[in-house]
Amino acid sequence: MDGAELKIGKFIENNTGDMIRTLSELVKIPSVKGEAEPNYPFGREPARALEKFLEIARTMGFTVKNHENHVGTIDLYSEGEPTLGILCHLDVVPVGNTGWRTPPFELTLSRGYLYGRGAIDDKGPAVSVLYAMYALKKLGVSLSQNVRFIVGTDEENGSADLAYYRKKEALPQRLFTPDGSYPVINVEKGMIRGEFEFVPTLGDRTLLSLSGGDVVNAVPAICDMSLCGVDQSEVEKAARQVPGISVECAEKDGALNVGVRGKSAHASQPNGGVNAVTAALKILSLLEVGDFEKISTLFPFGESDGEHAGVKMSDDVSGALTLVHSIASFDGKTYRGKFDIRFPVTSSVEKVRVTLEKTIGKAGALITAFGGVEGHCVDGNGDFVKTLLESYEHITGKRGRCIAIGGGTYVHETEGGVAFGAEFIGDENNMHGANERMSVDLFKMNARMYADAIIRLCK
């Protein structure tokens, strides 16, 4: 294999310019989800990115197929049922309004990094896979099994692309996606989203309105409320008992407006955040405004393991459950809350629901919406995962291991799929943010990694 590996390394080196040009063609297309139209299930731009990608693959001599603008497939060989699938996506998240130092839809090379929307998620990794396959083809590396590269266009908005394809065609038995991180993600917790309502009993010291959080899957950084019959000094005193937040008060028309500020974090890793909504609830209960302590007791400030909601649990493969009360509103009568839960793979949506209904009911609140997906777990000691880890160790020289995450990757709903790359945990690549980037070194290394994995799995 060493001879092939050397040749592949050289091939990637010699073709880096073309790889960058290919990526820049793709970054140019703003493939954010758009309005559905006949033949364009996710809008025109994701379809345009897919067509461009398939056209490039066709020019390289691959057999390609566009599955009605949901996904495209590129087979390494024109014949033979594929036993390995690789899954990437060409849709991207919106660019947001601020902070880009370069045009987001123009790939920019600066100090060894490629900047642009999609550079790491997931256009860059898709180009690395394509060139890994191209290297194997051009160098005539002969394998006994076929590989199918599946490129989708709806990963960022619920993966309806993959659901469509799975209805039409069976996925290869072995499947990995370069849309997560190295070494191998084989465990993804289950996920629940729910809503509840609570009608507080209010007194003279009262809450007029409250609004906190804007997305259900993040620790809320902001919660604004308006109080009546409460002094600013009392609020400030209460706020001092809530570490890590800042509070701003302003009187207006006889009411006291209070802005609570915490720190945002992804709901799958809530410990990095400071929850402004549960901080506001704690302040309300310290001030004895209404009976909000009932909700504050369920979702105490500083707690993210669901203990007081009765759902604290963990297992060896996935770690601990996380619970974030992420959105809240109060209109003067009803408090409405939303939460995000990531639970261990050994539990289930139903088990969590039964417990939570009890504890929330006991607090005098009512669950009004509840839904989720079960966890995803692939045997970390099976041949497939072990072989991917071998590739990882061989290419990086680092020790391989399986990891569990709280989020769901592209393969969450598939049977036996894992995430393999394309980033390293801790990389500062600004995924989903401004100045998204990937290093040229990683771009090339990923191509070598995927070529190596294909050879090991399909030789």
- From 114-122, 132-140, 348-356, 446-454, give the range in contact with Zn ion by CB under 5 A: 114-122
3-state SS, one letter per residue, for 412-427: CCCCCCEECCEECCCC
Q: Give the distance between the most distant pair of CA atoms in the chain.
A: 81
In whole angstroms, how close is the CB of 179 to Zn ion at the nearest point?
A: 4
Residue list 178-237, contact with Zn ion (CB under 5 A): 179
Q: Looking at beta carbons only, is 122 or 452 nearer to Zn ion?
A: 122
In whole angstroms, how close is the CB of 171 to Zn ion at the nearest point?
A: 18
Q: Looking at beta carbons only, is 4 or 90 nearer to Zn ion?
A: 90
Per-residue contact track with Zn ion, 119 to 138, x per CB under 5 A?
--xx----------------
In whole angstroms, how close is the CB of 408 to Zn ion at the nearest point?
A: 11
Residue list 154-183, contact with Zn ion (CB under 5 A): 179
Q: Residue 288 to residues 116, 187, 206, 285, 330: CA-CA distances in angstroms?
A: 50, 43, 9, 5, 16
In whole angstroms, how close is the CB of 247 to Zn ion at the nearest point?
A: 37
Residue list 230-269, contact with Zn ion (CB under 5 A): none
Q: How many other β-carbons are positioned within 10 Å of the β-carbon of residue 164?
A: 18
Encoded amino acid at 243, one letter: P
Q: Looking at beta carbons only, is 181 or 322 nearer to Zn ion?
A: 181
> Burial code of 322-360, b = ≥16 C-beta within 10 A, e = fewer?
bbbbbbbbbeeeebbbbbbbbbbbebbbeebbebbbebb
In whole angstroms, how close is the CB of 155 to Zn ion at the nearest point?
A: 5
Contact between 299 and 325 (Cβ < 8 Å) = yes
Residue list 84-103, contact with Zn ion (CB under 5 A): none
Q: Looking at beta carbons only, is 301 or 410 nearer to Zn ion?
A: 410
- From 118-126, 237-245, 371-379, 445-453, give the range in contact with Zn ion by CB under 5 A: 118-126
- In the numeric block, the tokens 């504050």 are attached to 296
In whole angstroms, how close is the CB of 31 to Zn ion at the nearest point?
A: 12
Binding residues for Zn ion, how many (CB under 5 A)? 3
Contact between 453 and 384 (Cβ < 8 Å) = no
Q: Looking at beta carbons only, is 92 or 223 nearer to Zn ion?
A: 92
Q: Find, among 284, 288, 309, the residue nearest to 297 by Cα.
A: 309
Point out which residues pair with 402 in neighbouring strands. 184
CA-based angle 131:136:142, to the nearest 5? 160
d(CA 128, CA 445): 8
Q: Looking at beta carbons only, is 178 or 190 nearer to Zn ion?
A: 178
In whole angstroms, how close is the CB of 121 to Zn ion at the nearest point?
A: 4
Q: Looking at beta carbons only, is 121 or 291 nearer to Zn ion?
A: 121
Point out which residues bind Zn ion (CB under 5 A).
121-122, 179
